[in-house]
Amino acid sequence: MRHTRKATAPLLAPYAFVAPAVVLFALMLLIPIGYTIYLSFEKTQVSGLGLGAGARKQVFAGLSNYASGLSDPTFAASLLRVLVYSLILVPVMLGLALLFALLLDARRVRFQRFGRLSIFLPYAVPTVVASLLWGFLYLPTVSPFPVILHWFGLSMPDLFASRTALFSVANIGVWGGTGFNMIVMYTALRAVPAELYEAARIDGASQVQIALRIKIPMIAPALVLTGVFSIIATLQVFSEPQTLAPLTNTISPNWMPLMKVYDLAFNDNNAYGAAALSVMIAAAMFVLSYGLLRASNKRVFQGR
């Protein structure tokens, strides 16, 4: 029967192929997640003076870590702060990304290659280094801005004041994130068939009208996805404020939710409390991103 044999896909090979990913998934995701949930319900009990072996025991804590996390005013403040931060950063960044993507896709705009490369370049700069660079540009003694502003008779505001620091940090996010989102949108724009707006152009529609009426609706899926991922990423902001913190007292060690988690875990040595905060943040993220993707799938990807 050899000559009529049809090649059949083997049964075991695919399992061998996915085995490394499954093992890593279990070790690096599932177990840490399970361990965090477990820790979040534990606490240290100190008996006596807390001296000697056995004086500190790990005991079941119920929901007390969650309760103290939720009633911690600094955590609540950091949550509010990160929401405002995201509200400032995401619209500005995606608005600029869309504007530049449309400019790259428009006719009669020059220097498109130079513009594309320059605006994408910050993607190659690590967030910590970007924060260092902007941090120096914000320092009046080092920055070129005071001199330039002086030419126009202006003075530089304190960019690390309690009212301005959030914007200063958000600017670093805008700088670092616009290019990547621009490229994703630009790629989506190039996939729009030209015939779709050739007719509009012949009818005398302006470039702006074509952009608003045809191009932007056509790339709605790209806009929604960049939006969802940007929101998720900005809520996890850590590196920028952590890097700027040594330059100013405005940015406290628990300025943003993840800084608060770090501070609790490593400065206060309270891994249990940090675990409870992590679980709450992760749950909120999961609900938010799942909900956003669900909603956008329904609206934007209908029919697919």
Partner 1 sequence: MALVRTDGALTRSQAAAPPDNSKRKPYRGGTAALPTAILLLGAVYCLLPVVWVLVASTKNDAQLFNTFTFAPNGSLWSNIRGLSAYAGGVFWHWMLNTAVYAIGGALASTAVSAVTGYALAKYRFRGRSALFNMLLAGVLVPPVVLAVPQYLLFAKVGLTDSYWSVLLPSVLSPYGIYLAWIYAMAAVPDEVIESARIDGCPEGRLFARIAVPMMVPGLVTIFLFQFVAVWNNFLLPYIMLSDENKFPLTVGLYTLLNRGSSAPSLYALVVTGSMLSIIPLIIMFLTLQRYWRTDIASGAVKQ
Could you say which residues in the range 271-300 bind partner 1, by CB under 8 A? 271, 274-275, 278, 281-282, 285-286, 289-290, 293, 297
Closest to partner 1 by CB, 167 vs 262, is 262
- Measured CA to CA, the distance from residue 217 to residue 210 in angstroms comes to 10
- Measured CA to CA, the distance from residue 96 to residue 181 in angstroms comes to 9
> Whose CA is closest to 275, among 82, 85, 61?
61
- Measured CA to CA, the distance from residue 18 to residue 99 in angstroms comes to 41
With contacts defined by CB under 8 A, how many residues of the chain interact with partner 1? 111
- Measured CA to CA, the distance from residue 21 to residue 23 in angstroms comes to 5
Closest CB 295 distance from partner 1, rounded Å: 13
- Measured CA to CA, the distance from residue 17 to residue 22 in angstroms comes to 10
> Whose CA is closest to 96, among 3, 190, 195, 186?
186
The reply to whether 22 sits near partner 1 by the rule CB under 8 A is: yes
Q: Give the contact letters, 47-76, x = binds to partner 1 (CB under 8 A), - = no.
A: ------------------------------
Read off the tokens for 296.
């956008």
- Measured CA to CA, the distance from residue 163 to residue 237 in angstroms comes to 18
Could you say which residues in the range 84-143 bind partner 1, by CB under 8 A? 96, 99-100, 103-104, 106-112, 114-115, 117-130, 132-137, 141-143
Could you say which residues in the range 242-261 bind partner 1, by CB under 8 A? 242-243, 246-247, 258, 261
Could you say which residues in the range 208-237 bind partner 1, by CB under 8 A? 219, 221-222, 225, 232, 236
Could you say which residues in the range 141-170 bind partner 1, by CB under 8 A? 141-144, 147
Closest CB 224 distance from partner 1, rounded Å: 9
- Measured CA to CA, the distance from residue 92 to residue 181 in angstroms comes to 12
- Measured CA to CA, the distance from residue 211 to residue 197 in angstroms comes to 9
Closest CB 48 distance from partner 1, rounded Å: 26
Could you say which residues in the range 180-199 bind partner 1, by CB under 8 A? 180, 183-184, 187-188, 190-194
Closest CB 187 distance from partner 1, rounded Å: 5
